[in-house]
């Protein structure tokens, strides 16, 4: 259950981006090595450097609990898909051998790589986006086999969940 929940957390961040009105498609790929890629066509996780922390906003999303604007001024959660209100990505990173984040934003491809929760390759520009208005986030993670006794994903479990979510979220493929 916990293993599959890792995928739900990353997908929930993409669904939040859809609820915010910026994402219409989410792809989930189970690889043969039991890593998973989740891709969305939203705005892309913010890439700016956080003034106080001195690291990219994207790195904070994957390392800090309650990073980012997932809470409103009153302290309550705003419209969220049912995930951990933005902390999910940091939890997934803490429980993964590796996390690769690729962000298409501002006509650039940005890459950020974590191993065992640590940013071994901090956010940097690795390429150009050729097509105009082509933005989004791709996250590939491999659950840590020292933490999870079972690391094999069930296609049916993931497929059933995401089919339900597609039904519940109009306009989201």
User: In the complex, which residues of this chain contact ligand 1YM (CB under 6 A)?
Assistant: 10, 13-14, 17, 38, 40, 42-43, 45-46, 57, 61, 67-69, 86, 137, 139
Q: Which of 9, 17, 59, 102 is catalytic?
A: 9
CB of 33 to ligand 1YM, least distance (A): 19
Give the residue with the Cβ less far from ligand 1YM, 51 or 149. Answer: 51
By beta-carbon proximity to ligand 1YM, the closer residue of 86 and 143 is 86
Beta carbon nearer to ligand 1YM, 67 or 119: 67
How far apart are the C-alpha atoms of 113 and 149, rounded to whole Å?
24
In the complex with ligand 1YM, the residue whose CB is nearer, 150 or 173, is: 173
104-134 b/e with 16+ CB inside 10 Å = b? bbeeebbbbbbeebebeeebeeeeebeeeee
State the DSSP H helix or E strand holding residue 63, giving kind and residue range, or none if neither. helix 57-63
Distance, CA of 22 to CA of 2 (rounded, Å): 28
First to last CA, the chain: 24
**Residue 105 Cβ vs ligand 1YM, minimum distance, rounded to whole Å:** 8
Residue 9 designated active-site: yes
Least separation in angstroms between residue 45's CB and ligand 1YM is 4
Residue nearest to ligand 1YM (CB): 68
CA distance 122 to 106: 18
How long a stretch of residues is the chain? 173
> Would you please indicate which residues are annotated as catalytic (active-site) residues?
9
């Amino acid at each position: 259950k916990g293993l599959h929940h890792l995928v739900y957390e990353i997908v929930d961040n993409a669904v939040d981006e859809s609820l915010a009105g910026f994402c219409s498609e989410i792809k989930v790929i189970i690889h043969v090595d039991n890593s998973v890629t989740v891709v969305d066509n939203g705005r892309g996780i913010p890439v700016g450097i956080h003034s106080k922390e001195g690291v990219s906003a994207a790195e904070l999303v994957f390392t800090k609990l309650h990073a980012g604007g997932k809470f409103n001024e009153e302290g309550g959660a705003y419209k969220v898909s049912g995930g951990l209100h933005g902390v999910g990505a940091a939890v997934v990173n803490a429980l993964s051998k590796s996390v690769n984040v690729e962000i298409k934003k501002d006509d650039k491809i940005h890459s950020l790589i974590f191993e065992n929760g640590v940013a071994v390759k901090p956010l940097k520009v690795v390429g150009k986006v050729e097509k105009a208005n082509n933005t989004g986030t791709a996250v590939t993670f491999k659950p840590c086999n020292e933490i999870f006794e079972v690391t094999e994903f069930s296609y049916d479990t993931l497929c059933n969940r995401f089919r339900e979510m597609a039904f519940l979220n109009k306009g989201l493929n």
